[in-house]
Structure formats: C-alpha cells, structure tokens
C-alpha cells in the first residue's frame, strides 16, 4: 500500500472512530473546543479536542492567537439578546487575538427572516452584530449554510495560520542574521 493510501486509510479510520489525527509541526491543524456541541470536521485536517480560551475552532499551535467563533442563526439570536453579556466577554477575549472572526451559519437574508420562537426582528440582530463588530474589531462573516460556514471557518483559520507561520520564519531568520552579524541585542 502506498504512503498516500495508508494516510487516507488512517484519516478515514480516525474520522469514523472520532479520534484526532496526529499532528506534525509545520502542518495546519485544528483545535476544536471541548464545549462545541456539534463540531464540523474536515477529514484530511489533523485535529484535537481541547478547552480553548476563546472561540470554537483555533489553529493548532496558535490556540490563544487564531480562533473562530461559530454561530447558527438561532444561537446568534440568543447570543445578542439573552446571552449578550457572555457573548460580549467572548468577543473581548477574541479582540486580543492576532486573528479572530465570528462565522454565521446562514446568510444575511436568512437573518432578516428571523428564527422560529424568537420575537426579535432580524434587522435588530443585524444592527447588533454591526455594533459588536465595530466595538470589538472582530468581523462577522455570513455563510449560506452550515457547510459553507464550515468551509469558510477552515479557510480563514488556515490563511491566518499561514501568515503566522510566515511571520515566525521571518522573525527567526532576522534573529539568526542579527546573531551572525553581531547586530543583535547584547
């Protein structure tokens, strides 16, 4: 069996049994918050379940720097109304991260239609989202549905992870050059 076929078999086996996939340094992976009720996984991405300081998903190795908070529409309605204080605390934590975002499992059109069992108009929730984004600097991204939100979450996290990895390499290179030329801190 080829190495690629063996890796695919390991990924499928891990996904089927709910086990995390082993993570190698320098490879993008996910940290999923242990409180996440319905985690979405991408079979080919290494992942672990752990208690995250903020957010539902984070880049492995950057759990306190790169994270995404995911919300269904119903959860968003609750978060900006009855659970507003808790949601604001979460956004305050995320605002301190190098990269953070809130990804909504639904479109703005869906939001404007409202959700079942809520008397809150969608326009009020959208206005609250805009206010929270302006206040905390954490962007809200609307996806068309749960699958779209999953894809967008992974793409955002991987892009932020790549940027952080590039910055780490540049810093290490600059430190090495400074040490070799004797221009570094003494």
Q: How confident is the model at residue 11 (pLDDT cuts 50, 70, 90)?
A: very low
Report if residue 143 sits inside a domain.
yes
Residue 152 token pair:
């967008």
Note whether residue 185 is domain-resident. Answer: no
Picking from 2-11, 58-67, 132-141, 145-154, which range would have the lowest pLDDT averaged per residue? 2-11
36 in a structural domain:
yes
Residue 39: pLDDT band with limits 50, 70, 90:
confident
CATH number at 35 reads 3.40.50.10130
Residue 184 counted as domain residue? no
Least confident interval from 5-14, 49-58, 88-97, 110-119: 5-14
Residues 179, 90: Cα–Cα separation, whole Å: 40
More confident residue, 10 or 168: 168
Average pLDDT, the chain: 85
Give the H or E element holding residue 75. Answer: helix 73-80
What integer is the mean pLDDT of 1-17? Answer: 49
102 belongs to a structural domain: yes
Backbone φ and ψ of 101, nearest 5°: -155, 160
- Domain extent for 172: 3-179
Q: What is the pTM of this model?
A: 0.81
Q: Report yes or no on 186 lying in a domain.
A: no
User: How many structural domains does the chain have?
Assistant: 1
Q: Which residue bears the tokens 């050059």?
A: 177
Q: Write out pLDDT tens, residues 65-88.
A: 999 999 999 999 999 989 999 999
């Amino acid at each position: 069996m080829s190495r690629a076929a063996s890796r695919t078999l390991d990924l499928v086996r891990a996904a089927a049994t709910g086990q995390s996939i082993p993570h190698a340094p320098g490879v993008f992976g996910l940290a999923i918050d242990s409180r996440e009720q319905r985690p979405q996984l991408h079979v080919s991405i290494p992942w672990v379940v752990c208690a995250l300081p903020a957010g539902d998903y984070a880049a492995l190795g950057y759990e306190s720097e790169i994270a995404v908070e995911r919300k269904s529409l119903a959860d968003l309605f609750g978060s900006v109304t009855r659970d507003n204080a808790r949601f604001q605390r979460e956004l305050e934590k995320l605002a301190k991260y190098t990269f953070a975002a809130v990804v909504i499992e639904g479109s703005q059109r869906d939001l404007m239609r409202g959700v079942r069992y809520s008397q809150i108009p969608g326009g009020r929730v959208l206005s609250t989202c805009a206010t929270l984004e302006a206040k905390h600097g954490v962007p809200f991204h609307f996806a068309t549905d749960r699958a779209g939100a999953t894809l967008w979450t992974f793409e955002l996290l991987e892009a932020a992870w790549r940027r952080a990895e590039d910055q780490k390499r540049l810093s290490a290179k600059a430190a090495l050059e400074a040490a070799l030329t004797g221009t570094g801190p003494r």
